[in-house]
Amino acid sequence: MNTTTVLDRIAARQAAAAAALDEVREQQAKLAAEAAAIECELADLATTHQTLTKILEEEMTTSEPAVISEPSQQIIAVFTTDCGALRAKDVCLALGIGTEPNNVEGIRAKLKRLVNRHILTESQPGLFTLTEKRA
């Protein structure tokens, strides 16, 4: 083999390696841009999460919720009489709405929302009372 052929092969391999390196660098730049976009989205989501958490914590700790729907007011009125802990079925009976499963489950969902708003407490599973500050 002569020297010129060897040098031509080396030059060809250098050109192929340079092209491969350029391609990898392009992929690297693309991946870096994608990573930056994902990092921005994660930062935005973290900020949104913190903001909503603060808002919800403030809403839950206010002494009086800003808006209480009419059905919720009716449910709270059932608890204002000194009757102790009630089950969802008891609330249905007190409201005169029937005790079919769909009615009981609907009231139970409303009771759970009132627990989340710190208006009621669930002292035992299924037993609801007014919170101490409301009692």
- What pTM was estimated for this model as a whole? 0.50
**Cα angle at 110 between 94 and 84, to 5 degrees?**
45
Q: Which fold has domain 70-130?
A: Arc Repressor Mutant, subunit A (1.10.10)
Q: What is the pLDDT of residues 112-125, one digit of tens each?
A: 999 988 888 998 89
Give the whole-angstrom CA distance, residue 129 versus residue 135: 8
Residue 132: what pLDDT?
76
Residue 118: what pLDDT?
86
Q: Would you place residue 9 in the very low, low, confident or very high pLDDT band (cuts 50, 70, 90)?
A: very high
Strand partners, 127: 124
